[in-house]
Structure 1
Amino acid sequence: MIPPALLLVGHGTRDEAGAEAFRAFVRQLGEHNPGLPVGGGFIELSPPPLADSVAELVGQGVRSFAAVPMVLVSAGHAKGDIPAALAREEQRHPGTTYTYGRPLGPHPGLLTILERRLDEVLGDDDRSDTTVLLVGRGSTDPDANAEIYKVARLLWEGRGYAGVETAFVSLAAPDVPSGLERCRKLGAGRIVVLPYFLFTGILPDRVRDQAAEWAAAHPATEVRQAAVIGPEPELADLVMERYRETLKGDLRMNCDSCVYRVKLPGFEDRVGLPQQPHHHPDDPSGDHGHDHHHGPHAHSH
């Protein structure tokens, strides 16, 4: 009997190196888990589209899927677009079923990798003289942005850094230059910019460029740049953990601060809004539009 397939779902990137890193990670998981059907696809921008990955697995006899979103926080894509894409696949392939896992972070395994990335650029230097700027993607969902602050605090606890500050590269404040300026005003002599991204891509490159530009304008402050999380063993273990959770139905989504459930200041109009996922260009089911990324993204509770 074929076990439920592990289906990794990524957003997609226009950066070919980042897309290939995702594809290589999917292949790695398949090689390390013989007997388990493993596939992966994107909801937009990069091949293979999710529809192709699902069709290939269905062709191998798979009828049950456990989907793991390859995202670090639960924002619009995790809450709306990926579940909608899975629902379309269920309609395209009658007789198939899908369970949906939760996002990857925050998790101790990810914190271990982040600390490793800091070690790579700091070596034996004194951590008490170092301030870390953790840079996330940024979202119009305040709950998703708050998760980045949680990661920053968890990273700071017990590791001896002077501080761990937070910034975002898109859609949310503070941006990267503002985050660096805050670190400087707090007295940081050395700052390590730590991108909170799974793989390389357009946005991590933008973080690097903006940090380099700020550093050139502030030569009195030392700025070092760390690498993205990458396909580390801890990431593979975490994905398999999320896979097992979906099979047990142990998802434990935290909805206590969801804008579609709680009246948060400035977001009161979102409470109770219906889910409004959008189509993607690589999906044959319809047209694509990103305008609502600045509007409602809902998920059912």
Structure 2
Amino acid sequence: MKPPLLLVGHGTRDEKGVADFMAFVERLDRRLDDREVAGGFIELSPPPLTDAVGELYGRGHRRVVSVPMMLVAAGHAKGDIPGALIREKERHDGFDYVYGRPLGPHPTMLRLLAERLDDVLGTDSDPAGESAETGAAGETAVLLVGRGSTDPDANAEVCKVARLFQEGHAKQRGVSFVEPAFISLAWPSVCEGLDRIRRLGARRVVVLPYFLFSGILPDRVVDESMAFAADHPDLDIRCAPVIGDCDGLADMIVERYDEALAGDIRMNCDTCVYRIALPGFEDKVGAPQTPHHHPDDPAHGHGHSHGHAHGHGH
């Protein structure tokens, strides 16, 4: 048997988002008959990561491969999850782990985004890049909406995904251009992104949430998009679904598991604010990382953390 796969999610107060994550854990468990699979969250919702680790530890496992269910390498993947895993090492004698990298702008992820775009456009997409009604180029655009972060490296990665998507899958579908936006913590907002697309001349916009599962923030993306559409009836604004529980996402996780187990984790640390003194973020270099507060974790049962601070590691 291979070491167990431990999936670590962010957590959400949205019940459907929790159900999506757990269904995905079950999908991988059915698919991988040579290893056990468990999953937990670092905040907001049960089951907490500590329960998932305790479950595997109780079955006799002392080494696991942990893969963060994160699209970008922001604070959760860089600090919160490693900090929580180190805390589990302190709780469980002999426990150890190998930590994989976030999913990132993987070719499979770009394909999955293209499938979500097709879900919305259907036969409306035009390989020639022209509108069937007007014959005008630039009729359709995509707004790729990420979560947003205070980490410039993470925000830049969303912009990279938007550009890669524009150069490949979007172009093949007759989409004129792809713009990035964020639902929180970063600029441009959803409304600002939609307004930019409108001013650039597009008349049909597909809002493509860059999220794995359902949740409060993806719902907010839809709400803000529809509110903008109501104020701009000249625009045809359509919202695509999130990536969701699917085989393509499972393929990516298995790949991240294999490379972590082999020690082949190709993280780009050249723009990481915890390692490199980027202008405006010099104070973050070497900053200690502490696990998130989680009300379902025994260490946080009284509203305060007993966890230790740990340095940033990939």
Question: Structure 2 length normalisation: TM-score?
Answer: 0.90
Cα contact 1:134–1:165 (8 A) shared by 2: yes
- Residues 49 and 272 from structure 1, CA distance in 2 versus in 1: closer, same or farther, beyond 3 angstroms? closer
Question: Structure 1 length normalisation: TM-score?
Answer: 0.93
Deviations 1:91-132 (Å, cap 9, x if unpaired)? Answer: 111111101000011101111110000011111223423100
Matched, 1:98 2:108: no
What does residue 132 of structure 2 align with? none
What does residue 300 of structure 1 align with? 313
How many residue pairs end up in the alignment? 294
What does residue 258 of structure 1 align with? 272
What does residue 133 of structure 1 align with? 143
Cα contact 1:113–1:232 (8 A) shared by 2: no
SS in 2 for 1:138: coil
1:45, CA displacement in angstroms? 1.4
Match runs of 1:123-272 below 5 Å: 123-127=122-126, 128=129, 129-159=139-169, 160=171, 161-272=175-286
SS in 2 for 1:23: helix
Deviations 1:15-39 (Å, cap 9, x if unpaired)? Answer: 0000010001001100111131100
CA distance in 1, matches of 2:311, 2:14: 28
1:298, CA displacement in angstroms? 6.4
SS in 2 for 1:158: helix
The residue type paired with residue 135 of structure 1 is V
Matched, 1:87 2:82: no
CA distance in 2, matches of 1:289, 1:257: 32
CA distance in 2, matches of 1:271, 1:57: 34
1:267, CA displacement in angstroms? 1.5
Deviations 1:173-224 (Å, cap 9, x if unpaired)? Answer: 1000000000001111110000000000000000000000000000001101
Matched, 1:56 2:55: yes
Cα contact 1:120–1:226 (8 A) shared by 2: yes
Cα contact 2:270–2:276 (8 A) shared by 1: yes
The residue type paired with residue 107 of structure 2 is P
SS in 1 for 2:82: helix
- Residues 278 and 199 from structure 1, CA distance in 2 versus in 1: closer, same or farther, beyond 3 angstroms? closer
The residue type paired with residue 196 of structure 1 is Y
1:90, CA displacement in angstroms? 1.2
1:232, CA displacement in angstroms? 1.8
SS in 2 for 1:192: strand
SS in 2 for 1:285: helix
CA distance in 2, matches of 1:274, 1:33: 36
CA distance in 2, matches of 1:38, 1:92: 20
Cα contact 2:68–2:81 (8 A) shared by 1: yes
Cα contact 2:144–2:208 (8 A) shared by 1: yes
SS in 2 for 1:124: helix
1:271, CA displacement in angstroms? 2.4
CA distance in 2, matches of 1:278, 1:224: 35
Cα contact 2:43–2:292 (8 A) shared by 1: no
CA distance in 2, matches of 1:242, 1:258: 20
1:273, CA displacement in angstroms? 2.5
CA distance in 2, matches of 1:218, 1:65: 51
- Residues 52 and 81 from structure 1, CA distance in 2 versus in 1: closer, same or farther, beyond 3 angstroms? same
CA distance in 2, matches of 1:300, 1:38: 24
RMSD (Å), alpha carbons: 1.7
